[in-house]
């Protein structure tokens, strides 16, 4: 079995333009929370819908974004890579 994961780097953290809830972001920037980071403060649900894929702010109960797949089935990969401690 090979341990070469060079072709799977897209399964690691690659987010360079995060999707954020505007209200969460505003509240965090205003300093009206005691959260250390916006990631810690925001509470997002993500999942598939009949339309496509939705990001929902649980804190504010509002839509953050909703992708329209327009009936297409984009490629998706649910595998995860875990870092293991070398022994
Ligand atoms: Zn929010």
Give the Å distance between the CA of 47 and the centre of ligand 1.
16
Phi-psi region of 76 (alpha: psi -120 to 50; beta: other; left: phi over 0): beta
Q: Residue 56 pairs with which residues in a beta bridge?
A: 45, 63
| Strand runs labelled E in the chain | 44-48, 52-57, 62-68
User: Is pLDDT of 2 > 70?
Assistant: no
Around Cβ 56, how many Cβ atoms within 10 Å? 18
User: Is pLDDT of 84 > 80?
Assistant: no
Q: What is the pLDDT of residue 5?
A: 81
Give the Å distance between the CA of 16 and the centre of ligand 1.
20
Distance CA 39, CA 33 (A): 12
List of residues 6+ apart from 18 with CB closer than 8 A? 39
Tens digit of pLDDT for each residue in 24-77?
Answer: 999 999 999 999 999 999 999 999 999 999 999 999 999 999 999 999 999 999
User: Is pLDDT of 87 > 80?
Assistant: no
pTM: 0.82
């Amino acid at each position: 079995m090979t341990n070469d994961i060079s072709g799977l780097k897209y399964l690691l953290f690659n987010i360079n333009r995060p999707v954020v809830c505007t209200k969460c972001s505003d509240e965090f920037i205003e300093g009206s929370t005691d959260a250390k980071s916006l990631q810690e403060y925001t509470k997002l649900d993500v999942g598939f819908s009949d339309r496509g894929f939705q990001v929902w702010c649980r804190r504010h109960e509002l839509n953050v974004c909703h992708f329209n797949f327009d009936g297409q089935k984009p490629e998706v990969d649910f595998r995860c890579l875990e870092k293991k401690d070398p022994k």
